[in-house]
Every structure is written in C-alpha cells, then in structure tokens.
Structure 1
Amino acid sequence: MKTKLYVQNDRFVAGMTLKDLIAPDENNMALHVTDHPEQVINNRKKLADFLHVELDQFVCANQTHSANFAKVTTADKGRGTTSLQDAIQNTDALYTIEPNIVLSSFTADCVPIMFYHVKCGLIGVVHSGWQGTVKEITRKLFHHLVKEENCNPEGFFVYIGSAINQEKFEVDEDVNKKFAALGYADEFIKYNAQTKKYHIDNQKIVKKQCEMEGIWSAQIFIDSTCTYKSDDGFSHRENKGTGRHLSFIMRK
C-alpha cells in the first residue's frame, strides 16, 4: 500500500495514500471517479490492513466543495466505505471525539487538511479546493471547534497534505477576485503578465486561515509535494478522469 504518513505515534495516525501505477486502478480511493468500484473498495481494504483496522471503521463524505462540516460519532462508522449512497452528504469536513474512527477526505489537487487536539482528544479532516478556501471552510470549522467544543486553539496540530502548487495552479481574473476578496490572500497570489493568469498558493492561504483562528504557526505543517508534478500524485488539472488520494486520521 503506497502511503505517506504525517503522524504515527501512540495516540494518533495520519497520512494520505499515493498514486501507484502498478496497483489496481492506480490505487484510486474514490468511488465517484472509477469504472471499477470493486477495485477501489479493495484498495480501501488494503489501507485498512495497513492501518491495522477494519474497513467499517472508516467514515467518508460526499464532498461538494461546500463549507459544511459534520461531527462524526460511532453510529457513523462505515458510512461511505463501500457505497456513495450512505456517505455523509454534502459535507467537506469531518471531526470526531471518538477513538478508532478513521476520518477520510478525497483529493486530486485540492488541499487536504488533517488535524488533532491532544487535550480534547479530537481529530478532523478537511477538503479545501479553491472553492472551499474562498468559502473559508477551515476557518469556520476551527472557529466552531474553539467555541462549541471548547478546544484551546494553541492545542491543535495541523497537517496540510500535498496539493497542486502555486506554479501549476493558475486561474483567471474571476477566481482571483474571489481570493482577493478575502482580504488576506494577496501575498500568496502572483500575476503572470505574459499569460494573464494568476497563480495561487492554496496551501499557504489555508495555513493563514488556521493562524487567523489562533493556531500556532509552528504547529502547522505543509507537505510541499505537488500533485500535478509528482509521479505519486493524482491531478484533476492534468487529467479530468483521474483517481483520488485518501487523506486519513485516527485517534487510537
């Protein structure tokens, strides 16, 4: 199982799967972008084996580039693992305070965020493509966790997984205006006068959003691997029919 781990200790494990040209369906983990759902389910089972858990401990959402998040409980175990129909609907971030639940997020250029809070025993994942970033899904979730779950922001550790980098993520004026309207993204936007395109560093804008909610910069980690340029990356911008990485986190 071709996987990258960001956290592996006695309490938490977090990481993301990688593209693998010799694996079935290239190690695609998403049921919504495959002609071979049985292969995707088998890939997920291999990930479960790698993590020494059962597949029905995973929880998946049907992501819609929203700013919606959901609190997961033990009753949600197994949702979305073998079928899109019972996944958590219209949701792009999940969190839980329950142990032995593997929260999942699917990306192919979008920014995956995995985080935990030791004192609160809380974990979460976020899918933040450019639409999620301009809708401030990450800020909204952390604001909720501080206010409603009583998590001190200084206790969060955040891992921003690999995504398309600034060089390859180019957009037109309409999308640039949405980022500019945030009021704090300008330093992460470059304009190419020759192509008349704007280049966005979505990962660093997400990091800024975390910092704005009180999370310490030293506890936010960015994987700079570009999903477009890396052989291990699924890139929707490069290939519209590509598979998806699965980013995961679990509290033991």
Structure 2
Amino acid sequence: MNTKIYFDNEKFTAGMTLQDPAEFEVNNMALHVCENPQHIVENRKKLAASLRLDLKDFVCAHQTHSANFHRATAADKGRGAERQDTAIADTDALYTDEQDLLLASFSADCVPVMFYHEEKGLAGVVHSGWQGTVKEITLKLFAHLIQEEHCRPEDFHVQLGAALSQEKFEVDEDVYLKFKNLGYADDFMYFNEASGKYHIDNQLTVKKQCELAGIPPEQIHIDRTCTFESPDGFSYRQDKKSGRHLSFIVKK
C-alpha cells in the first residue's frame, strides 16, 4: 500500500495514503465517493494492519468544509470507519489525547493538517479546503487548544500534507476577495492576466494561520507535492469523480 509517513516517533505516527494502482479503486479511502463501499473498507483495513491497528480504531468525520472540530475519545472508536452514517457529523477537524485512535481526514486537493503537542500528548487532524481556510478552521482549532487545553503554542509540531499547488489553484474574484479579506493572505496570491484568474497558495495561507496561533515557523512542515500534477495524487479539480487521500495521526 502506497503511504507517505510524515513522522513516526516514540509517541506519534502521521502520514497520508496515496494513489496505488495495485489496490481497489487505486487506493481511494473515501466512502462518500466510491464505486463499491466494500473496496474502501478493505483499503482501510490494509492501512490499519500496516499501522498495527484495527479498523475499529478509526475515527472519521462527515466533512462539510466547516470550521467545526471535535475532541475524540474512546467512545468515538469506529465512527465512520465502515459506514458513512456513523461518522461524526458536520466536522472538519479532530483531536484527542487518547492512545490508539486513528484520526482521519479525507482530501483531494484540500490541505490536510496533522499535528501533535509534545507536552500535553494531544494529536489532531484538520481538513482545510479553501472554504475551511477562509473560515480559519486551523487558526480557530489552535486557539481553542491553547486556551481550553492549555497547550503552549511553541510545543506544537505541524505537518501540512500534499495539496493543490498555487499554479493549479485558479479562482475567480469572489474567492480571491474572501482570501483578501483575511488580511494576511496577500503574499500568497497573484493575478494571471492571460486567463483572468487569481491563483492562491492555500498551503501557505494555512501555514500563516498556524504562525498566527503562535506556532514557530520552523515547527511547521509542508509537503509541496501537487495533488493535481503528481501521479500519486487524487485531484478533484482534475477529475470530479476522484477518490480521496486519507491523512491520519495516531498517538501510540
């Protein structure tokens, strides 16, 4: 199974599944866009086995491009793992301080964020498409963790997974203005006169949100692989019927 591991230390493992022609539906991991749900369950079981976990350890959300987040506990084990209707509703970020829960985020061009907090033993994932970015889901989650979970921002380690590149992320003025109104994304946008489109770097905007929360830039890492251009990538922009990557983190 084609999986990119971003970090694997004594306490946390995080990574992102990639396209793999040897697997069902080229390793699609999403039940909401698939030909056969059983194929997706088999792909997920294989991922679980590779991490020495069980599918019932997965916690999945029904993502809606919201700014909503959920603190996952052992009671959430298995939610959304085999069926869509058991997923955590209307949620685009998950975090936990419990061991052996695989927190899942699904994407095809959107920015997946995986993070852990060394001192507090917290781990989490965020799904930040452009709508989630303009709603500042990442910034809001980190602000919550700093205020309510008493996390020192300098102890976070953050990984942004592969996503759509700025070159391929073309938008009209309405989306450009939403990013412009954030007040800190100007450096991550340009106008292409030939096409009349704006190009936005969603990854660097999300990285800026992490920095605005107080996380040191050197503790924020970005996988600059473009999901549109890479043969390993699922890209909704390239193929509206595309599958999804699963980005994950597990506290051991």
In the TM superposition, 1:32-181 aligns within 5 A as 32-181=32-181
Runs of 4+ in 1 over 4 A off after TM superposition: none
Tell me how far apart the structure 2 counterparts of residues 10 and 243 of structure 1 sit (CA, whole Å). 32
Amino acid of the residue matched to residue 163 of structure 1? Answer: A
Q: Which residue of 1 aligns with 2:192?
A: 192
Tell me how far apart the structure 2 counterparts of residues 48 and 72 of structure 1 sit (CA, whole Å). 18
By how many angstroms is 1:20 displaced? 1.2
By how many angstroms is 1:212 displaced? 0.3
Deviations 1:189-213 (A, max 9, x none): 0110111100000000000000000
Amino acid of the residue matched to residue 235 of structure 1? Answer: S
By how many angstroms is 1:21 displaced? 2.2
In the TM superposition, 1:229-248 aligns within 5 A as 229-248=229-248
Tell me how far apart the structure 2 counterparts of residues 177 and 119 of structure 1 sit (CA, whole Å). 38
Tell me how far apart the structure 2 counterparts of residues 183 and 11 of structure 1 sit (CA, whole Å). 37
Tell me how far apart the structure 2 counterparts of residues 94 and 155 of structure 1 sit (CA, whole Å). 18
Structure 2: which 5+ runs fail to align? none
Deviations 1:154-204 (A, max 9, x none): 000000000000000010001000000000000000110111100000000
By how many angstroms is 1:10 displaced? 1.4
Tell me how far apart the structure 2 counterparts of residues 22 and 52 of structure 1 sit (CA, whole Å). 21
Tell me how far apart the structure 1 counterparts of residues 11 and 250 of structure 2 sit (CA, whole Å). 8
Tell me how far apart the structure 2 counterparts of residues 22 and 83 of structure 1 sit (CA, whole Å). 24
Tell me how far apart the structure 1 counterparts of residues 121 and 136 of structure 2 sit (CA, whole Å). 24
By how many angstroms is 1:23 displaced? 1.6
Deviations 1:99-142 (A, max 9, x none): 11110000000000000001000000000000000000000000
Query: What SS does the corresponding residue of 1:123 show, helix, strand or coil?
Result: strand
* TM-score, reference length from structure 2: 0.99
Query: What SS does the corresponding residue of 2:112 show, helix, strand or coil?
Result: strand
Amino acid of the residue matched to residue 118 of structure 1? Answer: E
By how many angstroms is 1:9 displaced? 1.3
Tell me how far apart the structure 1 counterparts of residues 32 and 21 of structure 2 sit (CA, whole Å). 19
Query: What SS does the corresponding residue of 1:81 show, helix, strand or coil?
Result: coil
Structure 1: which 5+ runs fail to align? none
Tell me how far apart the structure 2 counterparts of residues 9 and 150 of structure 1 sit (CA, whole Å). 23
By how many angstroms is 1:22 displaced? 2.9
